[in-house]
Amino acid sequence: MIEVRVAGDSAEVEAALGLRYRVFCDEQGVTLAADQDGLDPEALHIVAFEDGRLVGTCRLVFDGGIARLGRMAVEADMRGRGVGALVLDAAEDESRSAGAERIRLHAQTASRSLYERAGFEVQGDEFMEEGIPHVTMEKRLA
C-alpha cells in the first residue's frame, strides 16, 4: 500500500530532494542548480511511501490564489503503478485546503497524459526547459 501525505520533517524533505536528484539530474541531465532553485524551504512537500521507502514526491509553492506544483518525481521502478496520480490527488487536496483557486504546473510533454487524466488543461505552446519539452498546464479548483 502506498501512503501519500505532506512531508513530516526535514529528513523526509531531504529524502524527497534525493529522489529528485536521481530522477532529474541522474536520469534526465538537469543541473542541480536548476532543480534546487531556492524555493524548497517555503514549499509544501508531498511524499509517497511504500513500505517505508520514499517512491514519489512533488512540491507546492503558493502564490496568491495559485498553487504552483513542481518537481514531481517517481522512482523508476514504481512508474506506471499510479504513484504519480496519488501524489497529484494529495497535492490537489492540500492546494484546496490552502485556499488556492487553481493549480499550475510545467509538465514534461512525455508526462502530459498523466496530468490530463487528472483534469489539467494545456495553456499555451510547448517550450523548452532544461533541454526538455514542456507545456504549462492548469486546473481550476474553485
Tens digits of pLDDT across the chain (142 residues)? 999 999 999 999 999 999 999 999 999 999 998 999 999 999 999 999 999 999 999 999 999 899 999 999 999 999 999 999 999 999 999 999 999 999 999 999 999 999 999 999 999 999 999 999 999 999 999 7
Rounded Cα–Cα distance for residues 58 and 17 (Å) = 10
Residue 87's CATH number? 3.40.630.30
Contact 130, 141 (CB under 8 A): no
Q: State residue 50's pLDDT score.
A: 97
Strand ordering across the sheet containing 44-50: 2-6, 44-50, 53-63, 66-74, 102-108, 132-140, 121-129
Q: State residue 142's pLDDT score.
A: 75
**Which DSSP state fits 9?**
S
**Which DSSP state fits 101?**
S
Match 517505508 to its residue by C-alpha cell: 52
Q: State residue 9's pLDDT score.
A: 97
Pairing of strands 102-108, 66-74: parallel
Rounded Cα–Cα distance for residues 16 and 32 (Å) = 14
- Report the number of distinct structural domains present in the chain: 1
Q: Which residues contact 121 (CB under 8 A, 6 or more apart)?
A: 137, 138, 139
Boundaries of domain holding 13: 2-140
- The three-class DSSP label of residue 1 is coil
